[in-house]
């Protein structure tokens, strides 16, 4: 089975609205591995790893976010397994500290 790893940047009103918790819930429910974190510039950054269709579906969900969010843009690029290692030891999906 093939595996995709994408790093995603989400911009808009995405901090202070439960966006990270929403991403963690959605990604875990989809069986994805990875992490999510706030950025000091007000954006949210995430990394998703798993079946290509599940990763693509998650990126599509990020374009809408939770009800209180306003997503202005979502960009993604291919990432490596090295970036996946930022998650917590023993965790499938992590919420990381702000970067």
The tokens describing 20, both together, are 């990270």
| Catalytic entry in 3, 37, 38, 85 | 38
Residue 59 lies in a domain: yes
Q: Is 20 a catalytic residue?
A: yes
Q: Check pLDDT > 80 for residue 37.
A: yes
Residue 12 lies in a domain: yes
Q: Check pLDDT > 80 for residue 91.
A: yes
Supply the pLDDT for residue 35: 98
CB 5, CB 83: distance < 8 Å: yes
Structure-derived torsion over alpha carbons of residues 10, 55, 81, 14, reported in degrees to the nearest 10 = 20
pLDDT tens figures, 62-90: 999 999 999 999 999 999 999 999 998 99
User: How many domains would you assign to the chain?
Assistant: 1
Distance CA 99, CA 70 (A): 21
Residue 55 lies in a domain: yes
| Catalytic entry in 3, 11, 13, 20 | 20
Supply the pLDDT for residue 1: 62
Domain with residue 29: its CATH number is 3.30.70.100
Q: Check pLDDT > 90 for residue 2.
A: no
Mean pLDDT value across the chain: 96
Range of 55's domain?
Answer: 4-85
Q: Is 85 a catalytic residue?
A: no
Residue 91 lies in a domain: no
């Amino acid at each position: 089975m093939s595996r995709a790893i994408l790093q995603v940047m989400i911009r808009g009103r995405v901090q202070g609205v439960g966006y990270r918790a929403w991403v963690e819930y959605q990604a875990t429910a989809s069986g994805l591995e990875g992490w999510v974190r706030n950025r000091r510039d007000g954006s949210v950054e995430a990394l998703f790893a798993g079946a290509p269709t599940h990763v693509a579906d998650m990126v599509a969900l990020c374009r809408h976010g939770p009800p209180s969010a306003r997503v202005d843009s979502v960009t993604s690029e291919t990432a490596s397994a090295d970036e996946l290692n930022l998650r917590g030891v023993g965790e499938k999906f992590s919420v990381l500290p702000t970067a």
